[in-house]
């Protein structure tokens, strides 16, 4: 009878028992994780779901014993097979991380070594010592990277966010671990690569009998890969069920709210848009010079954007959709003046944005702002949130006094559902979703007429994602603001945008009203994107 109840008989690869984690400071102790208990069986895929800040990532980090130094494990045990990980020496844990446990981190730019080329970083993760070119090539192809020669010889900063995430996945699966901890592994990936990665993880799960702890805020993704769903809220598990039972009959009210938020409400599509053109992009070309491989060879260029033209009207949301590396972010950065135009024209509010003098450009800049894809990289880690938010006002609205700046910063934080206590804290003290809300607040504080959003909700959980989209939609209507919304999530675009441009390899292959593009697509690439969208 004892054998029947043992961990081996239950075939558990991971067993977490009453885990409690707190953060200690000089004044008090705050509990972050409370009595977390669950297990993962051999070959099982468990999805850990919850809002940003619910404790999902902390639970994952505690398994690999990678918690930040300021956090303390008060009590609990974590068994990998029959071995208590909390009793292992650090040397033993390094062996376990190299062979038995592997982790895909949420933010690849912070996880990859910035001064090492990708080839060397993947090679380090492969147990076999020496040159593993063919194996590295196969790993990169398996995660959807076909130009492996360029990627192998690149540094992390030379790759897009989606490409960096694919490299992280390749590193994580290189050692064929017993347990793969995937912390939001498909958040920054476009839908076609997301589908590839999910199929790859399911294949590895079946072929290698690899167990997976899959952390996500996307319920549609969770439903496509997991056997069991565990829901966390405020550091506690509120529901744990088999997938089919969870999606048909959840018990907890919070679980029901998550499911409700996943079904995005349909915004009112504007049938005929009348008014001024706020952004007019005409025949835009953007080329980047490539590094010479021979001394006297002619200069070569990578054509990132090719003959792109579109217009955005006042009070309109125009979406640009495409895979990672298709040129979406390059278009956004070029409109903002952060990349040089090779040829073509960009007019913002009637002004040729790239030919204005310094003073005129500064005055115009306050009328158009951008929300960047990676909030951790775009927020200054040495500045408190109050100063980050107020910086734009100090530079572009110098007529405001300190009290007026403070009132505006408090009001904009309230709009993105953050407390004014955040003003005295630093970016690293916030979760990924909270940092993105701060980045959105920083752009909205100047009351722009044009807002460019580069994947602004990719790192947000579904409830906050809906709140942010509702907020952007409300502000757009109140201020008659134009939005250029860049996304790889066609499901999101279908609920938000008025018009869509579909981008492939730097060229627009299809454009028009959102309903026309989504329900009667003409181009094969658009159909491929639509077929790759996960559904609950």
Quickly list H helices, 480-532.
Answer: 490-494, 514-519, 524-531
pLDDT at 199: 84
Record the tokens describing residue 316, joined without a space: 């309109």
What's residue 3's pLDDT?
Answer: 39
Residue-wise pLDDT tens digits, 488-534: 877 778 778 899 999 999 999 999 998 888 888 999 998 888 888 77
Is 337:308 a contact under the CB 8 Å cutoff?
Answer: no
Residue 304, helix vs strand vs coil = strand
Residue indicated by tokens 């009132």 = 407
390: number of CA atoms within 13 Å, CB side?
A: 21
- Residue 211 phi, psi (nearest 5): -80, 150
429 and 415 in contact (C-beta within 8 Å)? no
User: Contact 26/34 with Cβ under 8 angstroms?
Assistant: no
Rg (the chain; Cα; Å): 24
Alpha helices in 6-160 (DSSP H): 56-63, 90-99, 108-111, 118-125, 133-142, 148-152
Low-confidence ranges of the chain (pLDDT < 70): 1-10, 25-28, 161, 188, 263-275, 432, 459, 461
Beta bridge partners of 73: 21
User: Mind giving me the DSSP string for 335-403?
Assistant: HTTSS--SEEEEEETTEEGGG--HHHHHHHHTTEEEE-S-HHHHS-TTS-HHHHHHHHHHHH-TTS-HH
Q: What is the DSSP string of 444-494?
A: HTT--SEEEEESTTTTS-HHHHHHHHHHHHHHHHHHT-EEEEEES-HHHHH
Strands 228-233, 482-487: pairing is unpaired
Contact 289, 299 (CB under 8 A): yes
The kind and range of the H/E element at 259 are: helix 253-262
Between CA 517 and CA 500 the distance in angstroms is 7
For residues 512 and 518, what is the distance between their CA atoms, to the nearest angstrom?
A: 10
> What is the rounded distance in angstroms from the CA atom of residue 373 to the CA atom of residue 467?
18
- Which pair of tokens denotes residue 17? 């028992």
């Amino acid at each position: 009878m004892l054998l029947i109840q043992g961990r081996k008989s239950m075939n558990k690869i991971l067993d977490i028992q009453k885990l409690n984690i707190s953060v200690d400071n000089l004044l008090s102790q705050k509990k972050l994780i409370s009595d977390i208990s669950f297990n993962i069986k051999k070959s099982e895929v468990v999805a850990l779901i919850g809002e940003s800040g619910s404790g999902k990532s902390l639970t994952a980090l505690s398994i690999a014993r990678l918690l930040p130094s300021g956090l303390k494990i008060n009590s609990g045990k974590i068994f990998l097979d029959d071995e208590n990980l909390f009793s292992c020496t650090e040397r033993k844990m390094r062996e376990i991380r190299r062979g038995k446990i592997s982790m895909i981190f949420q933010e690849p730019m912070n996880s990859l070594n910035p001064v090492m080329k990708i080839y060397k970083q993947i090679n380090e993760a492969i147990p076999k010592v020496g040159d593993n070119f063919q194996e590295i090539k196969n790993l990169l192809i398996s995660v959807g990277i076909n130009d492996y020669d360029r990627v192998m010889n690149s540094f992390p900063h030379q790759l897009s966010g989606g490409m960096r995430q694919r490299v992280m996945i390749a590193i994580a699966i290189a050692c064929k671990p017993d347990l793969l901890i995937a912390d939001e592994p498909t958040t920054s990936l476009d839908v076609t690569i997301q589908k590839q990665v999910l199929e790859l993880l399911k294949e590895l799960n079946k072929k290698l009998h690899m167990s997976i702890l899959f952390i996500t805020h996307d319920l549609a993704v969770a439903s496509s890969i997991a056997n069991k769903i565990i829901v966390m809220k405020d550091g506690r598990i509120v529901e744990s069920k088999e997938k089919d039972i969870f999606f048909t009959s959840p018990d907890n009210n919070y679980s029901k709210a998550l499911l409700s938020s996943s079904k995005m409400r349909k915004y009112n599509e504007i049938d005929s848009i009348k008014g001024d053109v706020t952004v007019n992009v005409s025949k835009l070309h953007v080329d980047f010079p490539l590094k010479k491989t021979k001394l006297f060879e002619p200069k070569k260029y990578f054509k990132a954007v090719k003959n792109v033209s579109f217009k955005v009207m006042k009070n309109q949301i125009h979406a640009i959709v495409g895979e990672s590396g298709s040129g979406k972010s390059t278009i956004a950065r070029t409109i903002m003046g952060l990349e040089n135009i090779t040829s073509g024209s960009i007019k913002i509010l009637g002004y040729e944005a790239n030919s204005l003098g310094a003073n005129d450009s500064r005055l115009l800049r306050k009328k158009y702002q951008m929300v960047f894809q990676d909030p951790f990289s775009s927020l200054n880690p040495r500045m408190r949130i109050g100063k980050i938010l107020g910086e734009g006002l100090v530079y572009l609205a110098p007529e405001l006094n300190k009290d007026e700046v403070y009132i505006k910063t408090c009001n904009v934080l309230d709009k993105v559902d953050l407390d004014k206590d955040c003003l005295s804290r630093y970016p690293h003290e916030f979760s990924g979703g909270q940092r993105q809300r701060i980045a959105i607040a920083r752009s909205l504080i100047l009351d722009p007429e044009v807002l460019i959003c580069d994947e602004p909700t990719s790192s947000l959980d579904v409830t906050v994602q809906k709140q942010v989209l509702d907020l952007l939609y409300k502000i757009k209507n109140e201020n008659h603001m134009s939005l250029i919304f860049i996304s790889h999530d066609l499901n999101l675009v279908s609920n938000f945008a008025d018009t869509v441009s579909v981008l492939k390899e730097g060229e627009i292959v299809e454009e028009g009203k959102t309903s026309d593009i989504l329900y009667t697509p003409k181009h094969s690439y658009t159909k491929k994107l639509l077929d790759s969208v996960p559904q609950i």
